[in-house]
Chain A
Amino acid sequence: MSILVNRDTRVICQGITGKVGEFHTRGCLDYGTRMVGGVTPGKGGDSVADLPVFNTVAEARDATGCNATMIFVPPAFAADAILEAIGAGIELVVAITEGIPVLDMARVLPVLKDSGSRLIGPNCPGVITPGECKIGIMPGYIHTPGHVGVMSRSGTLTYEAVWQLTQLGHGQSSCVGLGGDPLVGSSFIDILTLFEADADTHAILMMGEIGGSAEEEAAEFVKHHVTKPVAAFIAGRTAPPGKRMGHAGAIISGGKGTAEAKLAALRDAGIEIAESPAGMGAAMARAIERSR
C-alpha cells in the first residue's frame, strides 16, 4: 500500500509537447510510471515518447482510462488546465507549474471542493511511491521503497530529506510535495489523514517553512489524530521579517508565521524536531526509535 499513487495508476501529462513536459514524461516513463498519453490543445494525433497526444483531457480519459494527470502547462493557462482535468473527472491532479496567479487558484479551489478530484500543488515537485509510480520532477534514484511518509511545501528540500532517509536505510511509502504557493490543493492535514490511514506508512516526516499557519494547524491535527511517529523541519529560521523568500507564501509579517512559533507548536504536539536541515533523516530515525 501507499497513498495517492501506485503501480496501477494510469497517468497523462497535460503540456506533454512542451520541452519540460516531454523531458519529465520521459523521466516518469524511465522510472516505471504507467504513462498512457498526453494532452496539448491543437496537437491531438501527434505522439511524444511513443505516447498518444490528445486535444482534450476528456478525449485522453476516454481513450486511455487515465486516473491521474501531471500538469506542465504554462502559468497563464495552468488554472484552466486544472479545471479541465477536474471537469473530466480525473481523480488525481498534480500541478507542477510555478507562477500561477493567486486569484486564478482562488477560482479553482471552490470547483475542486465540489468535485471528486484531489489536487496536489501547484508549484510542487509532485508525488512518488518509490519503486512503483513517480508523477513529477523529483530525481527517482534518491528514493527507496519503505515505510516513511514524506510531505513538504518545498521541492528540493524534500529531495534532501528523502536522500537522508535513504542513506540512513529508511525507505519511503510515498512522498508528496504540497507546493510553495499561498493557495494549493492539498494541505498537510489532508496528507496526514492519508498517511495515518495507510497501513504501509509507519512514520511521517514533514518539512514546513516560515509564513502562514499551515504548520501550526498540522501540529494541532497530529496532537489529536495521528498515532504514528512524526518528525519535522522548518525552513527559514534565519529569514528576516518582511522579506519574501522565493515562495509566494514564505514571508514573516508582523510576528506571524515565524519559525519559532511553528517549532513551538510542533514540539507541543510531540513531534521530533530537526534543528538542522542536515538532520531531517536523523530526526525521523529518533522519532521511530522513541516510539518503539
Chain B
Amino acid sequence: MSGARLAVLGAGAVGRSVVELAAEYGHTVTAVADSSSAAVDTDGIDTEAVLDRKAEGGTVGDADPDAALDADYDVLVEATPTTLDDAEPGFSHVAHALDRDRHAVLANKGPVAERYGDLRELEADSEGQIRFEATVGGAIPICSTIADFGASHITAARGVLNGTANFILSRMAAEGLDYEHVLAEAQDLGVAEADPTFDVEGIDAALKFVILSNVLAEGDQEFTLDDATVEGITDIPGSALELAAEDGRTIRLIGEATPDSVTVAPRLVPDDGPLSVTGTLNIVQLETTHAGRLNVSGRGAGGPETATAVLSDVSRLTE
C-alpha cells in the first residue's frame, strides 16, 4: 500500500521513528498518541512539531489518547509497550482497527504472542489485515521470508533474538568477566534496561519464538508464552564460557521454534559458526524443506531499525 494514512499508537523509540520516517516512505501520519495524549489531523500532523513537543514536554498533543483510535486512517500502527496475558491495551487497539475494516501493523509482541488465535479470528471477520514483521528481530525480514517460502516449507526457526543477552554473553566470553559485571556495563551503555529481567531471563526471546511457532503452525496449534520452555542466562558463570572457548565453542541464548514447540535456553555453539553473532546483533536460521538452511542476520532492535520493519509492512499491505 502506498500513500497510506497512519495512526501511530505509542510514542516510544519505535513510534517516534515511524512518525519521523513515514513521509520518506510516502505515507501521511494522521494521528499519533502516547499514554496520556494525542495529536490528530486528517490532513497530516506536523510531525516535526509533535516530536519536538514530545521531547520537551513529554506529550504529543492536546487531545485525549483515544482520539487517535477514532481518527481518519488506513493503517493503525500498534507500538505501545509489550504486555503479557490479555496483551492489553494493545490487543483492543488492533481489534478496534479491524472492527473498522482498517489494517493494523504491530511492533508490540504481546497480542501476537499471547492472543494469536483471537487476532486471526478478528482479521477473518474484517476487510483489514494484520502484519507484525517488527515484532520479531527488528529490521530483519523474518516473517516475510517465511511467508515468501510458505510456512509449510519451513520446518524450524532458530537463532539469537535478544541483543541484550547476546551482548552480555559475548562480553563475558571476550573479557573473561562475570555476569554481574557485564550486566552493569550493559546498563551504563543503555544496552540493558534498569530492570533487565525480560531480556536476561529469556522472556523477550521466548515471545519472539512463540510468534514464529504461531506462524509456522499455520493455525494447527496456538502458542503462548506459557507453552514455551524458557531458561535465561543469569546462572552462567564466567568459567563456563572459558571452558567453552577452550574447545572452540561459545554459549549463546538460542531459541528454537517449530510448528509444535518453543524453547529458549543457553546453548553451546561453534565459536566460528553463524549463530555466534557478537554484540547486539540478531540472527535467525530457517530450516527449509528443499533448500537447506537460510541465515538472516542484522539489527534486531532500535527505533529506526524497528520502524523500518513497520513501514515495510505498510508497503506489503494490499488495498
Do A and B come from the same complex?
A: no
